Amino acid sequence: MLYKKLSELTDEERGRIIGRGGELADVGDTVAAILKDVKQNGDAALREYTKKFDGADIEAIEISKEEIDEAVKNVDPALLAHLEFAASNIRKFHEAQMPKKMWFIEISPGIELGQKVTALESVGAYVPGGRASYPSTALMTIVPAKVAGVKNVVMCTPPGKDGTVNPLTLAAAKVAGADHVYKIGGVQAVAGMAYGTESVLKVDKIVGPGNVFVTAAKMQVRDMAEIDFPAGPSEVLIIADDSCNARMAASDMIAQAEHDPNSVSVIITTSEKLAEEVRDEVVRQAAKTLRTEIVATSLENAAVLVADSMDECIAFSNEFAPEHLEIMVEDSDAVLEGIEHAGSIFVGNYSPVPVGDYASGTNHVLPTAGYARIYSGLNIDHFLKSSSIQKISKQGLETLKDSVISIAEKEGLKAHADSVRARFE
């Protein structure tokens, strides 16, 4: 874990912090080969890669509704209630994001313009597995799609070595309203959803987080299926001052570190005293975590930085463009005003990232590795598309006629101009 004043960072250290994350190009050829194989060989390739990467022999790729119902029966009713509570909050938040399905404005007599919003027909939700199961991601990807009105929402998640999927993940898929669930993961799952196979429904868009291989696969299939955005290893940046509780801040860094060895946890503060306390707390708490090896590796990417002013903290945050940004300062509104790039923002000592991960209602599928500069986190708009509408009378066209004809002829498109003239001849 790096501990240093911001002004004393070397170019190499600063570059390593800002340029965190796995390089997609490093796995590009491997990913391309798997995508091509699944495109050509369908289910057979899916089974082969599931055996190779997950160690599971599978025959049926889709999990039947009966299997899902049986899995739900094995979930603790109290835990199921918590899933339903979280799903309800997620549903409410995304319902509030829904735009008007249709609207019109009259810009002048006889010219009425509008927009019609419709849902995508099919969406694929990728839910990671491997080191842990993520029923929360099933809720975050499927619930908004169903709120938007997507007819077919499919979920892919890798099986365990015994060929089964965690019952809690299946329960979450049912609570969220998934239409199909497939026990495949990794690059092969992205390929199955993008190209379609004998068992897997081809989708119009793929959403959800994953490792560098999944992210690279999503980027490579965009000619066949749109994606949400690159979403790789988790990260948090904390902006703090003397009002921040060091134990809380350290626990939030550890919470990100336990996700993945490539996760990144950074705190930048104007207080040297707080920085020292956080550094010591991180070391103390890391020794007590259950996922000791993952946390230890992840903390090699961590940093505790001391800035000379809050303006420096804000500027660094905007350069970093974090997936998760925590603001733990006395004048949080002033800091919030200066933030330009962040996936999801958590304000105050009592707004830790895990509440957004699970149950507050905001979405936890967010752009990582600096992509928050250009992408929004998963929201209702990812599942919708809009069509512009024009209702124009002869009177309205009269007011547009001269402009359209002049510009069209200037562009050398006489037939465009004539299509307008014809209506007045």
Dump the DSSP string for 185-238. -HHHHHHHHHH--SSSPP-SEEE----HHHHHHHHHTTTTSEE-----S-EEEE
Is 323 in the active site? yes
234 is in an annotated binding site: yes
**Whether residue 76 is found in the same domain as residue 219:** yes
94 is in an annotated binding site: no
Per-residue b or e along 291-308, where b marks 16 or more CB atoms closer than 10 Å to that residue's CB: beebbeebbebbbbbbbe
The set of residues, in sequence order, having a beta carbon less than 8 Å from that of 306 and lying 6+ positions away, is 4, 5, 6, 268, 269, 270, 271, 272, 275
370's tokens: 């600096």
Range of the domain at 411: 395-424
- Taking Cα atoms as reference points, which of 32, 27, 2 lies closest to residue 15? 2
| Residue of 226, 235, 258, 323 with catalytic role | 323
E strand segments, 97-201: 102-108, 111-119, 122-126, 152-156, 180-182
Angle at 234 between CA 343 and CA 120, to 5 degrees: 55
Which phi and psi (to 5°) does residue 381 adopt? -65, -25
| Residue of 94, 324, 364, 382 with catalytic role | 324
9's tokens: 């960072």
**Whether residue 182 is found in the same domain as residue 87:** yes
252 is in an annotated binding site: no
Is 326 in the active site? no
**Whether residue 206 is found in the same domain as residue 268:** no
Kindly state whether residue 379 falls inside one of the protein's structural domains.
Answer: no
Asked if 323 contacts 362 with a C-beta cutoff of 8 angstroms, the reply is: no
357 is in an annotated binding site: yes
**Whether residue 258 is found in the same domain as residue 125:** no
Domain boundary among 195, 227, 259: 227
Q: How far apart are CA 196 and CA 179, in angstroms?
A: 15
180 is in an annotated binding site: no
What is the pLDDT, as a whole number, of residue 22? 54
pTM of the model: 0.93
**Whether residue 33 is found in the same domain as residue 166:** yes
126 is in an annotated binding site: yes
263's tokens: 């996760």
**Whether residue 400 is found in the same domain as residue 311:** no
Other beta carbons within 10 angstroms of residue 146's beta carbon come to 19
**Whether residue 54 is found in the same domain as residue 180:** yes
Kindly state whether residue 386 falls inside one of the protein's structural domains.
Answer: no
The CATH number of the domain holding residue 277 is 3.40.50.1980
What is the pLDDT, as a whole number, of residue 20? 82
Q: How far is Cα of residue 319 from the mean position of the Cα atoms in its chain? A: 20
**Whether residue 408 is found in the same domain as residue 356:** no
Which phi and psi (to 5°) does residue 274 adopt? -65, -40
Domain boundary among 172, 192, 227: 227
Overall domain count for the chain? 3
Which phi and psi (to 5°) does residue 95 adopt? -65, -35
Kindly state whether residue 376 falls inside one of the protein's structural domains.
Answer: no
211 is in an annotated binding site: yes
Dihedral, CA atoms, 349, 351, 353, 356, nearest 10 degrees? Answer: 180
The mean pLDDT values, 10 residues at a time, for the chain of 425 residues are 96 92 76 98 98 96 96 94 98 98 97 98 93 88 98 97 94 98 98 98 96 92 96 92 97 94 95 98 94 94 97 98 98 98 97 97 95 97 98 98 98 98 95
**Whether residue 350 is found in the same domain as residue 214:** no
386 is in an annotated binding site: no
Kindly state whether residue 97 falls inside one of the protein's structural domains.
Answer: yes
What is the pLDDT, as a whole number, of residue 251? 98
Q: How far apart are CA 260 and CA 278, in angstroms?
A: 21
416 is in an annotated binding site: yes
Which phi and psi (to 5°) does residue 223 adopt? -80, -15
